[in-house]
Amino acid sequence: MRLLNILVIGALILAASFVYKIKFDSTLQAERVAKLAGQLLRERDAIASLRAEWGKLDTPGRVQGLAERHLALKPMQATQFDSLDRLPERPPAVAPAADEIGAMLAAPPETTGSVPALVVPR
């Protein structure tokens, strides 16, 4: 009877230590989750601020001001436009001379250096 009591007390101590270990591990995991949630929130805030900054930098008015300040562009003149009936004639269709790339595309190689050739059993 006394041996049984000692075994039960030992089992209770082992069970209590096991439960404590599980509780400690779950607390560590909860802290890790809270830390990751905080990092996620900071990253989302950073993304939102970068998107707002991108929107500010991408406004057409700002781009127009930068183009006027840094590029030597002239405004369009009405004389630069013409009607479609005054376009020159289309050049005659002439066969291209020695189109090497087109010939390679028309007859691709059977094997490449990275893939072995497929052997089909007969």
**Which tens digits make up the pLDDT trace of 93-106?**
766 667 777 777 77
Q: Quote the Cα angle for 71-76-78, to 5°.
A: 170
Question: If you ran DSSP here, which 8-state letter would residue 113 be given?
Answer: S
CA dihedral sign, ordered 90, 91, 95, 99: negative
Select the more confidently predicted residue: 80 or 34.
34
Beta-carbon neighbour count of residue 101 at 10 Å? 7
Unique residue bearing structure tokens 């050049």: 91
- Percentage of residues in the chain with pLDDT exceeding 90? 48
pTM (predicted TM-score): 0.45
pLDDT recorded at residue 76: 83
